[in-house]
A and B are shown apart, each in its own frame.
Chain A
């Protein structure tokens, strides 16, 4: 039977409970929540004057009431050293979510660490160092001293290229302007680290280089554009599952207002199913293309639009480049960029050619073009908002495919206008503010391969777990473990010696091919098993944190509880590393180098915010953001008037494009020439294996799965990583629902639980990405797209059964996900 909490009553929020603004830190949407805290020895009552809602709670409350919260929204946490009661519930007054919670965000309270209720017992509370064969808790001073001494020794004996850094670049969660600035200042200002990578890809680079090179920031609209548009054009994304409340609170309103919905996805997603319910099936067009062929489809749509004269000629004349080629194809630009006319010579694709390659009817491609761009009967232009995500970002030929999609939006003038925009949907919130990364270069170093080749001596890891979220993970893990074990052995051998002897032993092991690993995280992660020093960080709301969501809405998510144990904000950990580097380098006699690490005398995360983001955006302060509440302000902030920050609802309303840095302000089109599989090894792998191993997400733990490893509600639903398959394929392989299976190819092996999904195509499986218990990255080859963009989405393998369903898997419901109304 399904897991039940057996809770029959919850404490009532008293009328005078403290109230805090919270932006959900799990995903890009950034829904507004309110946190309420009150002392343990007090409780509210059912009478209106006794509770925060001012309503009679002895009565049943209606649908969508503000005056109810689920058990997952309650916890007991520490605040200023005392235990307090906590409720975190969706904010009805936030324009992002209008009171809607999701299966992730509405569990924020339950996912706070609590020594009283035992939730998140996995959280790290103290710095730890590898000593005598185990991780021993220690003081910050001791741990940071060891980090600084080993790091300083290695980069002074060799160079800064010997320090490899994995660091998050996002907002929300443990990211945000405070923390990206602090880490950025440490590695890009005090040092000039080239061998850096981000949490989800093996290099330090943009995921949408082409959009930026064409002049467009990838987050250029407002969420309300989905409500104002005529057509939602969604590519390689599944927003009902992932950007849940963006879909429910904005896209659904658009569909109910009469907007049509085009989905480009090889599989039928829950977003497509729900859109059929909300808009009527006749207003939903699903282009179930063959995997990796998106660019051809976009080129055919563009060609059809151009040939029918449905382009926005005025916009093209005024806002896009006119003189042929503007940027030539070279090592840093996988396609030439220029005028529409110029790139059409490359992009031109007939409907029939595309139908052949993409495996969808030519008539459907024509229909998509009509829904996007055919003027209405009264001659007015159709509005279309284009949204894309990992299906093409982690797909085939990233640069040209994203470019081909942006081409359509530009040709139809659907940027900078109501009901328009061409945007990525996003994963985490954004919160990037760092010194220039120009020294990293383009293409950036493929850092995973650098480590695999035995290069680099010290690895600083900030809230990244490449065990779960990198490609070629099998080999990466093998090498990372072997190299870090060499250092562990050296530490064990040197036990009992002085600090200087210990550092010497570590450095010799590094010189012999070892790797010294420092892991900064909130939990003891899988890659953290290779760490020699573990530094405990805290999350949003254990600190103040600023981030912006997918429509650039900037909020301050307020601190309402203490950091767990002795954990600290990443910003202050980075400052601690810097201060120790300065001290140690000075001791070593490197005065000038030591001076580069000055300027970290911060005591709070706000100090980091003021040092970084505020210097670039002097209008924006914590006090002003606090006053802007959960609706915040949309970036860029342009001023402060009448006591309020003034923002920017959508970008490029003036038709001037700047993201590429061109002085003429003209957007460029992309010459997206089709060339089949771009990343090396993909075609061979496809030919060698029966199953395409697509990787997908699940709403229940998207973006916060690491917190749910022991969550009973989540584990009860998915006790093992799911691998969705067509039932006939399961019969072929002798698999029953819930059976454990193995996916095998030349890159490695991973495992999961067979889950029947009749809407899938044959010989295709959809495996959850990033699972702690079965990394899909194990079977992804090291082949990357140009500019070191991983093509996680295209992996092929063979499948075999390894076990009957476990008792936990036998209790799982295997019914269809699609609602039956």
Chain B
């Protein structure tokens, strides 16, 4: 089994690799009235992305995901115990961004106490209390992905409750 430090290094590379594959769509500098109208929304529109099926999840084993796009890595967790905001039959499935909201290092999951931990400057977040920062340097709690389950057990993410590190709009 990989130790957490290796997991962490792997995730960081995942981020860089996926970025290279991203096709940057340049924003138009001058908007036509129609375009301005089309963009005149107060909040971003979140995609509904299928992350996994509930059957794929093992209790307390983190699954790498990304949301709302490939450049925003996250973790999907079945905690084994119902938590506020958890979905699924047991109310224990949650998902978080793994980019530390302090300076954006990749965090790793500690199964022992169900926290996400940052190797950068040692901030940590509690996956059982909605990503509350247990101790750390970030000025927000951890961005959590809003989840929904359909009848077939597919888990979809369709929202985020904090600004994700490294982007000034959650949907780029």
Q: Show the binding face of A for B, using Cβ within 8 Å.
A: 1-10, 12, 45-47, 50, 56-65, 68-73, 99-103, 106-107, 110, 240, 244, 248, 270, 273-274, 277, 699, 713, 716-717, 811-813, 815-821
Contact = CB atoms under 8 A, between A and B. Distances in A.
Contacts of A818: 135
Given A10-B163, A819-B124, A107 B139 contact: yes
A4 B24 contact: no
A70 B140 contact: yes
B171 to A, nearest CB: 8
B105 A63 contact: yes
A70 B168 contact: no
B166 interface: yes
Interface stretch (B53-61, B74-82, B125-133, B150-158): B125-133
Main secondary structure of the interface of A (DSSP, over half): loop
30 contacts: A2-B130, A5-B162, A7-B162, A8-B43, A8-B46, A8-B163, A8-B171, A9-B168, A12-B168, A45-B27, A47-B29, A50-B29, A58-B26, A68-B167, A69-B168, A70-B138, A71-B140, A72-B140, A99-B103, A103-B137, A270-B122, A699-B135, A813-B132, A817-B124, A817-B135, A819-B117, A819-B122, A820-B4, A821-B4, A821-B5
Contacts of B112: 820
Interface in B47-105: 71-72, 84-85, 101-105
B81 to A, nearest CB: 14
Interface string B7-49: 0100010011001001011110100000000000001101000
Sort chain B's interface into a size bin: 35 or more
B117 A820 contact: yes
A818 B16 CA distance: 28
A64 B106 CA distance: 11
Interface of B: 4-5, 8, 12, 15-16, 19, 22, 24-27, 29, 43-44, 46, 71-72, 84-85, 101-106, 108, 110, 112-113, 115, 117-124, 126, 128-142, 144, 160-163, 165-172
Contacts of A59: 19, 22, 24, 71, 172
A628 B110 CA distance: 45
A713 B122 CA distance: 19
A67 to B, nearest CB: 8
B121 A61 contact: no
Main secondary structure of the interface of B (DSSP, over half): loop
A110 B161 CA distance: 18
B144 to A, nearest CB: 7
A820 B131 contact: no
A445 to B, nearest CB: 41
B141 A4 contact: yes
Contacts of A717: 132-133
B22 A60 contact: yes
A758 to B, nearest CB: 12
Nearest to A244: B137
Contact of B43 (A1, A9, A68, A240): A9
B127 to A, nearest CB: 10
A101 B123 CA distance: 13
Contacts of B139: 70-73, 101, 103, 106-107, 110, 713
| Most chain A CB neighbours (cut-off 10 Å) among B22, B133, B136, B163 | B163
Contacts of B43: 8-9
B95 to A, nearest CB: 14
B27 to A, nearest CB: 5
B99 to A, nearest CB: 8
A4 B129 CA distance: 12
Contact of A8 (B44, B136, B140): B44
A755 to B, nearest CB: 11
A15 to B, nearest CB: 12
Contacts of A60: 15, 19, 22, 71-72, 166-167, 172
Given A60-B172, A101-B137, A815-B113, A68 B126 contact: no
Contacts of A73: 139
A48 to B, nearest CB: 10
Contact of A70 (B72, B101, B131): B101
Nearest to B68: A8
B73 to A, nearest CB: 10
Contacts of B12: 63
Given A1-B85, A821-B4, A716 B122 contact: no
A713 B132 CA distance: 10
A627 to B, nearest CB: 29
A2 B104 contact: no
A696 B101 CA distance: 26
A401 B97 CA distance: 48
Contact of B172 (A58, A244, A820): A58
B135 A57 contact: no
A62 B44 contact: no
Contacts of B130: 1-2, 4
B159 to A, nearest CB: 8
A45 B102 CA distance: 24
B94 to A, nearest CB: 10
Contacts of A70: 101, 138-140, 163
A717 B139 CA distance: 12
Per CB-CB distance, the 8 closest pairs between chain A and chain B, nearest first, are A1-B130, A2-B132, A60-B71, A72-B139, A817-B135, A813-B126, A2-B130, A819-B122
Nearest to B135: A817
Contacts of A64: 103-105
